[in-house]
Amino acid sequence: NAGVMQNPRHLVRRRGQEARLRCSPMKGHSHVYWYRQLPEEGLKFMVYLQKENIIDESGMPKERFSAEFPKEGPSILRIQQVVRGDSAAYFCASSQGAGETQYFGPGTRLLVL
Amino acid sequence: EDKVVQSPLSLVVHEGDTVTLNCSYEVTNFRSLLWYKQEKKAPTFLFMLTSSGIEKKSGRLSSILDKKELFSILNITATQTGDSAVYLCAVGYSGTYKYIFGTGTRLKVLA
């Protein structure tokens, strides 16, 4: 049973470009959460999605960031017009049911030059 | 404001020592508390705690929750170098499905 998968593991972008981060939840999990981790800081919640629905996006910056979890395929976190401050590790987690234990993927480390 | 505070921020011990990591929280409508171990990759799940006073154990690790005093501890006995990691505490609360994470305790175990 494969765990949560994320790709790419490392992503380098120049300022102004777009970054697309993908997350495939564990088999049987339909709840996906995205977190951002800045160096020497804890995980900060960004968004919680179920299939085709955004349930809670209270942690998402109002501009440039968006997330989706389509009926088919992985969840995608999209960052438009990246800036250096977007450089961080972005983790995805999934759970079987709402509020249940979240299992994390290996993260995508985004570096904006 | 809801918050999760972990202490100490960092800790250096020698192999064989016992360590106790602390997590205190202030959240409305507490639902559960999770402990994770994070090395240079994904946080790996250790424990979920929902009830006060019931110790959870896994090998040399154990954890307990005190809902009256609003804290949890994670104990590691007979530490090994492989225990070196950042230990994260996260608290979830009713009405939302997100968890608030503490900044973690960085543990280094010396041989």
Q: What is the mean pLDDT of each run of 10 residues along chain B (111 residues)?
A: 92 97 92 91 90 92 94 97 96 81 95 93
Distances (CA, A) of B82 to B48, B63, B86, B110: 22, 19, 12, 10
Residue (of B17, B34, B23, B30) closest to B73 by Cα position: B23
In whole angstroms, what is the distance from residue A45 CA to residue B52 CA? 26
Sign of CA dihedral B61, B62, B65, B66: negative
Q: Does the beta-carbon distance from A56 to B90 stay under 8 Å?
A: no
Nearest chain B Cα distance for residue A91, angstroms: 8
Q: Does the beta-carbon distance from B98 to A44 stay under 8 Å?
A: no
In whole angstroms, what is the distance from residue B24 CA to residue B3 CA? 8
Mean pLDDT of chain A: 92
Helix (H) or strand (E) holding B41: none
Contacts of B98 in chain A (CB under 8 A): 33, 45, 48, 56, 58-59
Answer yes or no: is pLDDT of A1 > 60. no
Residue A74 binned pLDDT confidence (cut-offs 50, 70, 90): very high
Q: In the numeric block, which tokens belong to residue A52? A: 């085709």
pLDDT of A48 reads 93
Q: What is the pLDDT of residues A8-45, one digit of tens each?
A: 999 999 999 999 999 999 998 999 999 999 877 788 99
Edge-to-edge order in the sheet of strand B56-58: B3-7, B19-26, B71-76, B61-66, B56-58
Residue (of B43, B48, B45) closest to B65 by Cα position: B48
In whole angstroms, what is the distance from residue A21 CA to residue A37 CA? 14
Residue A98 binned pLDDT confidence (cut-offs 50, 70, 90): confident
Q: Does the beta-carbon distance from B42 to A4 stay under 8 Å?
A: yes
